[in-house]
Amino acid sequence: MPVREAEVADAEEICALIEEHARYEGNDELVLDRAEMTKHLFGPEPKAWVLIASPPGRPEVVAGMAFCSWNFSTWEARPGIWLDDLFVRPDHRRHGLGGELLAALRARTAGRVEWEMKEGNERAAAFYAQLGAEPVPGWTKYRWSPEQ
């Protein structure tokens, strides 16, 4: 399978993927602190985890990633996965890697796998619908940032 657990040696590629995704979404300013990200992913108390996708037969190539953390549903009384970032580099799209990453997440929990999608991204909406995922009606996302 072309999906594997990220390792400390992947920290630079993970940050590069996040920055590439930001550029793809129109944010040309994002530059991540590599040391800080490495601490959060691989330090003594990791806050998130990453799955890496590579093209078949080319494990040395980082084609995409799923950046995740665990969540918990009180109403279902079980843990689930929050997918914060799913990104496959443009040169590696349309080869099933996004589906492989999501299938690997689905296999890790009997709970929910949840994520957000930027409004108007019809290609992503069609991809998620093809997998059987649905938008959550009746819920509005809120964000309370420290600077507010």
- State how far the Cα of 128 lies from the Cα of 137, in Å rounded to an integer: 15
User: What is the DSSP pairing of strand 113-115 with strand 64-73?
Assistant: unpaired
Beta strands per DSSP E along 57-142? 64-73, 78-88, 113-115
How far is CA 44 from its chain centroid?
21
- State how far the Cα of 39 lies from the Cα of 126, in Å rounded to an integer: 35
- Catalytic positions are 128
Distances (CA, A) of 106 to 18, 55, 57, 109, 111: 22, 20, 23, 6, 9
**81 neighbors 68 (Cβ within 8 angstroms):** yes
